[in-house]
Chains A and B, each alone.
Chain A
Amino acid sequence: MLNKDKSIFALSTPWGISGISVIRISGKGCCNVVKTMCSIKSPKPRYIYNCNLKDKQSNIIDNIMAVYFNSPKSFTGEDMLELYTHGSIAVIKRVLLELSYIPNLEPAQPGEFLKRAYFNNKISLIQAEGINHLIKSETEKQRIVSSNMSFNGTISLCEKIKEDITYIGALVDATIEFSEEDENTQKSNIEKLIYKIIKELGSQLNGIETTRKIFNGLNIIVFGPPNVGKSSLFNLITNSDNSIVTSKAGTTRDLIQVALEVEGYKVNFTDTAGIRRAKDDIELIGIKRTTKKIESEEKLMLVLSPDSYNKRNVNSLKDLFNKISKKEIIVIFNKEDLLNFKKAQKKWFNALPFLKKTSFITTCCINKNEKHKILKKISKFVKSEFIENERVNDNNLFFTEYRHEVHLKKCLKFLKSSYNLLEKVELCSEELRLALKEIESIEGNVDSEIKLDIIFNKFCIGK
């Protein structure tokens, strides 16, 4: 999997125009690069050099800063070199090309820096996973979970659970080894302790659901009859003109999705085609997709407007609601600037009685000056209706991966059977031993090769 003789390099900052770009090199080849390209004979570790970076013909490519880290005191544990060039696409291209000419230097595979750090015991598997998440984090909540994983939170929790299980195992074993002595460990105490960990693991397993939502985002589907202003609202919320707005019904046909951060949470808004009997084949496909999407997601935002109140629209919606069940729906009455707004709103309420049970707000999209106010109103609405019940304030989130979930579930299973086997001490102890092994697996000491490969292939390049 890893080849020690090869050194690797990659651009560590995004490809594109920027103030500076950082190129990282890891492995024995660093010295070679420093010598030939930076003209520094024996670099002082952890010292910032300002130097000219030269190509093979000794032409200056760029004036840069360079830092050399000597093994094992580096991120990967190998010799490392970081080059800070000007953030120019042409410079980056040239430097990467020059690097590839140097023998035994190769472009890094995805996640290879992290992988080397892991194999050289600079970071644990959990930390590697955490750093990977941290790099990709966009929202505050994502950052918090990733930090937990990268900077010891998860490891400490695992260690704590391991310590607890080991402790219980010791209590159970004490009743085996020292049954002749008059020391007696209380069974009820053991019972309580196991129960405590079971509860903790249960809550962590629930937490995985939450972390998943934190990383994948909450999905909110904007839907309703044609021409009610769905796309207008969508554009307003997402601060874009991703969705085409016209006065013609049936304009939106594709599902358009935009992710954004609401109150620290990632939220995916989807704009959909209006629900009605389609006029042409393409619109029909669009409406079918909409219906399917509505059926598959939990959180729906229904948009209605006064001018869209008519029998056909009412019936189409009734049909739809007959098909779907148990969704969280909130309603936006749009176009409150129209004259008959209040009356029409009442009509909608009467036509669709369940609306009385849902929360709603009223909006108007056409006044560009009010945009900010409306946006705030909608954010507040979305937050109170959809986000607040998702353990927003839960900072007790430590696990993200499917791999974690599998081991936690197994661990929980073993703990539960240990709980049920308290009368059969030797079996109880065996279950505890297996429970412990599962936590060790999460920490990444005993994973098999295939698992490791999958884990590392998910990581992005150059980080």
Chain B
Amino acid sequence: MFHVKQKFYDVIILGGGHAGVEAAAAASKIGAKTALITFSRKDLGAMSCNPAMGGLGKGHLIREIDALGGIIGQASDMSGIQFRMLNRTKGEAVQGPRAQIDRNKYKKAVSGLLKTLTIFEDEIEEIHLEKNIRKVRSVKLKEFGNLNCQSLIVTTGTFLNGLIHCGQKSWSAGRLGAKATTKLAKFFIKEKFVTRRLKTGTPPRLLGSSIDFKKCIEQKGDSHPVPFSFLTEELRLKQKACFITKTNETTHKIIRSNIYKSPMYNGKIKSKGPRYCPSIEDKVQRFKDRISHQIFLEPETEAGDIIYPNGISTAMPSNVQKKFIRSINGLEEAQILKDGYAIEYDTIDSKELKNTYETKKIEGLYLAGQINGSTGYEEAAGQGLLAGINAANKVLGKKSFVLGRSDAYLGVLTSDLMKGGLVEPYRMFTSRAEYRLTLRADNADYRLTDKAINLGLACKDRSRKWIKKKKALAAGTKLLRQNYATPNKIKAAGLDINQDGKKRSAYEVLGYNNSNWQLIISIWPQLKKVNISEKEKEQIRITAFYEKYVERQMGEIEELKKESGLKFKSNFNAKDCAGLSNEVKEILLKNSPKTLGEASLLPGMTPSAASLLLKHTKK
């Protein structure tokens, strides 16, 4: 594709990682004139770490991004080589779709989905502001020179002042084989952004043919793989197996006796890594009584030539890595293709952000992805999408788009990040969502696709499919609600229910624990003829099952909204508000919120500060 490179853009995106590509896709779909600048086209959709998408919380995020018209879901479906629904035996609310991804095919898929996007293979070295106002004016590219823009979305990922560590060695890099972003870092220092250094790590990669898989336990994908995207009809790639092996006491001994060589333990790395994704050094040192740790051997490609050993991220020197790897069952002959390493990088404290991902300090400057202290492709993609929507909407004079904690995991992500002060990389978990039973992966379209249509993010195919599905669900639900039976009759069909003489609707009965459509039809044969697909039927069943809980949560949300609507007295002055930290007082004074809701959305507000304020609305 050839694009005439112009000098003026509505929205420019710095970085072609997972945040960058979603931001670019969203902004251009909404109608902003968009350009994406990244070191190399090969960056598009590059997965720096493990070859997998989704999981618990993360799978929810992918479904939501997809429901809002994002690309991560479709790209994953096009490149997935093993799909598994996690927690399949548990309730749908905590089931998370996950897939092993062929790295190269993922990049191809992303590039394909961004065919029409203007892309510069270049490095942004400087950001320039308007003369007298603190607003973004242009960026300076190393090769191409200046580009003007109204909004700039910065998604540097792990690149900002990135520093790789492997044993005693350390060198400047954005990730293995890519140079770090150093010039840009000066901008954030000059503008006095609060920065924080975080750390993450990755395991060595192994040559597939050098592993004895016979010694490992095979783990197959689902027999009926479920795609991420609501648009995907069919998964095309051959499904591959993963294998499980584990470390042993010899492995641990090797690690322990070399522990002083690990930069995390000899004082070279001081920054915090994610607690939930510890290096093998950490695992061995911190859980001394464990005699082994599980390792998943995951294929990085459909061909299976490269294997990612999930669970042994390390920054040990090369020779120690080789030694401990070869002590593991099945890996005795393993060849290391690339060493594992740790990387330290700069993040910007996310309390610098408004809930639109725009910085408070500089108009038109947005930050998204790992630069905000998060970790993970899905978390980055979600922020990219939201920043892209807001940057474009602002340029086009449209309303900002903010999701709340009760709307989506994307809302939870936003509101958690906006609290600022992250001390370790932020990863999504279902436990972070208080409305977990409402925010399910299965109903992401129900929650968000109408919004996508209004925002102009849903393609024709998506709108058509969703509207059809919505109609089918409504019709099916209505029919179920119109049919009643006595408890006697229901019990006769095999459901043990309270014989209180109260008639139940088919919808109610479908929502009972252990209920299903077959049972419903045995009670109400007339429902056999309902004209909806099996998938839609299952969706109605899940909705019916959680309905009682969702209703209760809705009540709670309503109450919260009511509280959010509480107004501060006209003479309310944050300064007089005892118990608030000076920082929160300052935030309140600067923004002078009218209601408690507005106040609690302000970045930097803590829940305890919000509950103190609640008192003051009541005075």
Q: Which residues of A contact B (CB under 8 A)?
A: 1-2, 4-5, 72, 77, 118-122, 170, 173, 176-177, 179-182, 424-427, 429-430, 433-434, 445-446, 449, 452
Q: How far is the CB of A419 from chain B (nearest CB, A)?
A: 16
Tell which of A2, A121, A122, A180 touches B612, judged by Cβ atoms closer than 8 Å: A121
Contact in complex: B578, A426 (CB < 8 Å): no
Is there contact, CB below 8 Å, between A119 and B615?
yes
In B583-619, which residues have CB < 8 Å from any A CB?
611-612, 614-616, 618-619
Q: Chain B residues with Cβ under 8 A from A449's Cβ? A: 618
**Which residues of chain B are near A120, meaning CB under 8 Å?**
578-579
Are B619's CB and A179's CB within 8 A? Answer: no
Q: How far is the CB of B505 from chain A (nearest CB, A)?
A: 21
Closest 10 CB pairs between A and B? A121-B579, A2-B619, A173-B431, A120-B578, A445-B611, A426-B91, A426-B94, A426-B93, A449-B618, A176-B94
> Which of A77, A118, A426, A446 has the most chain B CB atoms inside 10 A of its CB?
A426
Instruction: Give min CB distance, A200 to chain B, whole Å.
Output: 24
| Interface set of B (CB-CB < 8 Å, partner A) | 56-57, 86-87, 90-91, 93-94, 293-294, 429-431, 434, 436-437, 513, 549, 552, 571, 576, 578-579, 611-612, 614-616, 618-619
A452 touches B618 (CB 8 A): yes
- Shortest Cβ distance from residue B310 to the other chain A in the assembled complex, whole angstroms: 10
Which A residues lie within 8 Å of B431 (CB)?
Answer: 170, 173, 176-177, 429
CB distance from B589 to the nearest CB of A (A): 16
Residue among B93, B429, B513, B552 with the most chain A CB within 10 A?
Answer: B93
A425 and B612 contact, CB distance less than 8 A = no
Query: Which residue of the partner chain B has the closest CB to A437?
Result: B556
Given contacts A121-B612, A426-B436, A449-B618, contact A176 B578 (CB under 8 A): no
B-side contacts of A427, CB under 8 Å: 91, 437, 549
A230 to B549, CA, bound (A): 60
Q: A427 to B92, alpha carbons, bound, how many Å?
A: 11
* A4: B residues at CB distance < 8 A: 571, 576, 619
Rounded to whole angstroms, the CA-CA distance of A72 and B91 in the bound complex is: 51
* A425-B294 CB under 8 A given contacts A118-B615, A121-B578, A177-B56: no
Instruction: Give the chain B neighbours of A118 by CB distance below 8 A.
Output: 615
Chain A residue contacts of B576, Cβ below 8 A:
4
Known: A118-B615, A445-B611, A449-B618. A430 touches B436 (CB 8 A): yes
The answer to whether B56 and A182 touch across the interface, beta carbons within 8 angstroms, is no
Nearest CB on A from B414, distance (A): 21
- A102–B133 CA distance with the chains assembled, in angstroms: 50
Within the complex, the shortest CB–CB distance from B175 to chain A, in Å, comes to 25
Q: Are A177 and B618 in contact (CB under 8 A)?
A: no
Contact A446 B611 (CB under 8 A): yes
A445 to B615, CA, bound (A): 8
Do the beta carbons of A430 and B616 come within 8 Å of each other?
no
Distance (Å) between the CB of A42 and the closest chain B CB?
21
Contacting residues, chain B, for A176 (C-beta < 8 A): 56, 87, 90, 94, 430-431
Provide 27 A-B residue pairs closer than 8 Å at the C-beta atoms, listed in order of the A residue: A4-B619, A5-B571, A118-B615, A119-B619, A121-B578, A121-B615, A176-B56, A176-B94, A177-B56, A177-B57, A177-B429, A179-B56, A179-B90, A180-B86, A424-B91, A425-B90, A425-B94, A426-B93, A426-B94, A426-B436, A427-B549, A430-B436, A430-B549, A433-B434, A434-B552, A446-B614, A452-B618
> Which listed residue (A2, A182, A433) contacts B294, Cβ 8 A?
A182
Chain B nearest CB from A442 CB (Å) reads: 14
With A and B bound together, what is the CA distance between A2 and B91 in angstroms? Answer: 48
> What is the CB-to-nearest-CB distance from B247 to chain A, in angstroms, rounded to a whole number?
11
Q: Give the residues in chain B near A173, CB-CB below 8 Å.
A: 429-431
Chain A residues with Cβ below 8 Å from B571 are: 4-5
Least CB distance from A69 to B in Å reads 14
For the complex with contacts A177-B431, A445-B614, A449-B618, 17 further pairs of A-B residues with Cβ separation under 8 Å are A1-B618, A120-B578, A121-B615, A170-B431, A173-B429, A173-B430, A177-B57, A179-B90, A182-B294, A425-B90, A426-B90, A426-B94, A427-B437, A430-B436, A430-B437, A430-B549, A433-B434
Instruction: Give bound CA distance, A426 to B614, whole Å.
Output: 30
Bound-state CA distance A2–B94 (Å) is 45
Which of chain B's residues have a CB closer than 8 A to the CB of A72? 578
In the complex where A176-B431, A182-B294 touch, is A425 in contact with B91 (Cβ < 8 A)?
yes
Q: Give complex CA distance A445, B579 in Å.
A: 13
Residues on A with beta carbons closer than 8 Å to the beta carbon of B294: 181-182
Q: Closest CB of chain B to A52's CB: distance in Å?
A: 33
Partner of B616, one of A119, A424, A425, A429: A119
Instruction: With both chains docked as a complex, state the minimum distance between the C-beta of B550 and any C-beta of chain A, in angstroms.
Output: 10
Closest CB-CB distance, A73 to chain B, in whole Å? Answer: 11
A121 to B577, CA, bound (A): 9
- Residues of A contacting B56 in the complex (Cβ-Cβ under 8 angstroms): 176-177, 179
Closest partner residue, chain A, to B294 (CB atom): A182
Given the complex, which residues of B lie within 8 Å of A1, measured CB to CB? 618-619
Residue of B nearest to A125 (CB): B615
Which B-chain residue is minimally distant from A179 (CB atoms)? Answer: B87
Q: How far is the CA of A429 from the CA of B434 in the complex (A)?
A: 10
**Which residue of A is nearest B573, CB measured?**
A4
Cα(A433)–Cα(B434), bound, Å: 8
Q: Are A177 and B619 interface neighbours, CB within 8 A?
A: no
Determine whether the beta carbon of B437 is less than 8 Å from that of A179.
no
What residues on B are CB-neighbors of A170 within 8 Å? 431
How far is A449 from B552 in the complex, measured between Cα atoms in Å?
A: 22
| CB-based nearest A residue for B56 | A177
**Complex Cα gap A179–B619 (Å):** 47
Contacts of B429 on A, CB cut-off 8 Å? Answer: 173, 177
In whole angstroms, how far apart are the Cα atoms of A119 and B618 in the complex? 9
Measured CA separation A2–B87 after assembly (Å) = 52
Q: Which residues of A contact B614 (CB under 8 A)?
A: 445-446
A452, B614: Cα distance in complex, Å = 12
Min CB distance A427 to B, Å, is: 7
CB distance from B216 to the nearest CB of A (A): 14
Report the separation of the CA atoms of residues A170 and B513 in the bound assembly, to the nearest whole angstrom: 24
Closest Cβ–Cβ distance, residue B32 to chain A (whole Å): 37
Provide the bound-state CA to CA distance between A424 and B90, in Å: 7
Distance of A184 from chain B, by nearest CB (Å): 12
A77 lies within 8 A of B549 (CB) = no
